[in-house]
């Protein structure tokens, strides 16, 4: 009898997206003439930019010649890409981060999922509520939580992010070792200011805690007081890991390339209290379990930082952010309260008249033929909220917006 990891059984089924698909399919079948528009997609719609495609073509040609062929590369990424990231994302912003503190990977999802492995299973975690589900689910699998009771896992410090606290999580009351912060946040579209984040960095220092900072949407920030990197805060290199990705920034969702920053001065501790650099542990983990991102993809990612690449990706991002403005404006005209959409491609609306998230889903689908995502699917504090995304085409976003603006609530 081979025993399984029963922690997996604690996870509720991935009800959210299957239920959305089921309801949408049923509606389309009953209303074949309806033109259903999705503002629910969490994937980009713009193709890779020309600078990236050209770089990948050149790299593919190199792979086809014996003199320039590349087999296994360094697990942590090629130096050319790590240096481009250090220079363009950090040094040019006044942040002193070395190329060898950067680990290139096939996705921020895998990195935020895997990073917990290097910590003790006894660590207590804190997560925002609502938030990207990967942080919590991977800690459940690793056995860091109790059972799922009435929508919450026992043993987890949830940090409510609500309209009342402006979606800024309060510092935990209980003792916590690991904190996941996602800013700009998926799903709320809101982001932490310098002062908000400084409180967290100071708290982590005082409590010898580690912050796992997901800034996958950093490139969408438009306001100057919003932090792009946690390392803008003095002392953050001693307490924080930062995750970034080319997925949303440069349309790499299907191409796969991301990067994780593990500063060398960031420490964890043995039970005897001896400090151990997380950098060394993560290096060991990656070199043992991961064989690197394809050379062709890393050359494509490097091109994101070229002058043409930057101009081209910024055009796509601003197109998405114009979609966000169109959606925000429509919600305002419909008399709905909405958040986000300024520093992230997500809009988080408050459902009217105390309607629950799923009731709003049904109303939006049946009356406006628009699909979105019920907020409750991202955590219990998402109940009574609804997520719309700015990733559809401008044309379909405008059509959807006109339908929303005409709705009666
Ligand atoms: C999309 C997204 C990512 C990116 O994941 P990849 O694996 O790099 O595609 C990471 N974090 C959040 C919060 C996201 O929404």
15 pLDDT more than 90: no
326 lines ligand 1 (CB under 6 A): no
220 lines ligand 1 (CB under 6 A): no
Q: How far apart are CA 378 and CA 334, in angstroms?
A: 24
pLDDT band of 408, cuts 50, 70, 90? confident
Residue pLDDT, tens place only, 78-129: 999 999 999 999 999 999 999 999 999 999 999 999 999 999 999 999 999 9
φ and ψ of 371, to 5 deg? -105, 130
Query: Are 26 and 366 within 8 A, CB to CB?
Result: no
Averaged pLDDT score across all residues of the chain: 97
| Residue of the CA atom closest to atom 2 of ligand 1 | 216
* Fold of the domain spanning 52-306: 3.40.640
* Fold of the domain spanning 6-47+308-405: 3.90.1150
Closest atom of ligand 1 relative to the 248 alpha carbon: 1
pTM of the model: 0.97
Residue pLDDT, tens place only, 260-276: 999 999 999 999 999 99
Going from the Cα of 135 to the center of ligand 1, the distance in angstroms, rounded, reads 11
Query: Are 131 and 186 within 8 A, CB to CB?
Result: yes
Q: What share of the chain is helix, strand, coil (3-state, %, to 5)?
A: 45, 15, 40
DSSP H helices in 101-179? 108-114, 134-141
Mean pLDDT along residues 23-48: 96
> What pLDDT does residue 60 have?
98
**Identical fold, 6-47+308-405 and 52-306:** no
Query: Are 326 and 320 within 8 A, CB to CB?
Result: no
> What pLDDT does residue 13 have?
82
Closest atom of ligand 1 relative to the 246 alpha carbon: 8
Q: Which residues pair with 277 in a beta bridge?
A: 267
Strand residue runs (E) in 262-343 = 267-269, 275-277, 338-340
Q: Where are the domains of the chain?
A: 6-47+308-405, 52-306
pLDDT band of 377, cuts 50, 70, 90? very high
Q: Which of 136, 186, 216 to mutate to test the pocket of ligand 1 (most atoms within 8 A of CB)?
A: 216
263 lines ligand 1 (CB under 6 A): no
216 lines ligand 1 (CB under 6 A): yes
409 pLDDT more than 90: no
């Amino acid at each position: 009898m081979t025993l399984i990891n029963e922690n997996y059984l604690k996870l509720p089924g991935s009800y959210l997206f299957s239920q959305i698909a089921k309801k949408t399919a049923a509606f389309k079948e009953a209303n074949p003439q309806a033109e259903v528009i999705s503002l629910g997609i969490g994937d980009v719609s713009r193709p890779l930019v020309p600078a990236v495609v050209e770089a990948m073509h050149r790299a593919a040609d190199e792979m086809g010649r014996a003199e320039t062929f590349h087999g296994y590369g360094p697990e942590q990424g090629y130096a050319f890409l790590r240096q481009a990231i250090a220079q363009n994302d950090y040094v040019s912003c006044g942040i002193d981060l070395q190329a060898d503190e950067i680990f290139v990977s096939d996705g921020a999802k895998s990195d935020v999922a895997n990073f917990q492995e290097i910590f003790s299973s006894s660590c207590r975690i804190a997560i925002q509520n609502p938030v990207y589900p990967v942080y919590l689910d991977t800690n459940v699998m690793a056995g860091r939580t109790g059972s799922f009771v009435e929508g919450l896992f026992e043993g987890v410090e949830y940090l409510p992010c609500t309209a009342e606290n402006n979606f800024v999580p309060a510092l935990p009351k209980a003792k916590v070792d690991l904190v996941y912060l996602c800013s700009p946040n998926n799903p709320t579209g809101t982001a932490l200011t310098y002062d908000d984040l400084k409180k967290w960095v100071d708290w982590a220092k005082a409590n010898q805690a580690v912050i796992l900072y997901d800034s996958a949407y950093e490139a969408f920030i438009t306001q100057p007081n919003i932090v792009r990197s946690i390392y803008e805060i003095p002392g953050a290199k001693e307490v924080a890991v930062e995750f970034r990705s080319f997925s949303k920034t440069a349309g790499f969702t299907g191409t796969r390339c991301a990067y994780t920053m593990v500063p060398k001065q960031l420490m964890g501790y043995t039970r005897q209290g001896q400090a151990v650099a997380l950098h060394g542990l993560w290096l060991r983990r990656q070199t043992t379990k991961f064989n690197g991102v394809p050379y062709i993809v890393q050359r494509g990612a490097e091109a994101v930082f070229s002058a043409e690449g930057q101009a081209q990706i910024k055009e796509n991002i601003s197109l998405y952010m114009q979609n966000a403005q169109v959606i925000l404006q429509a919600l305002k005209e419909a008399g709905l309260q909405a958040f986000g959409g300024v520093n992230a491609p997500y809009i988080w609306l408050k459902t009217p008249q105390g309607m629950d998230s799923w009731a709003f889903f049904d109303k939006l689908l049946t009356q406006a033929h628009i699909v979105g995502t019920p907020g409750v699917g991202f955590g219990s504090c998402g109940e009574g909220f609804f997520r719309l995304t700015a990733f559809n085409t401008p044309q379909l976003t405008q059509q959807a917006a006109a339908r929303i603006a005409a709705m009666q609530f």
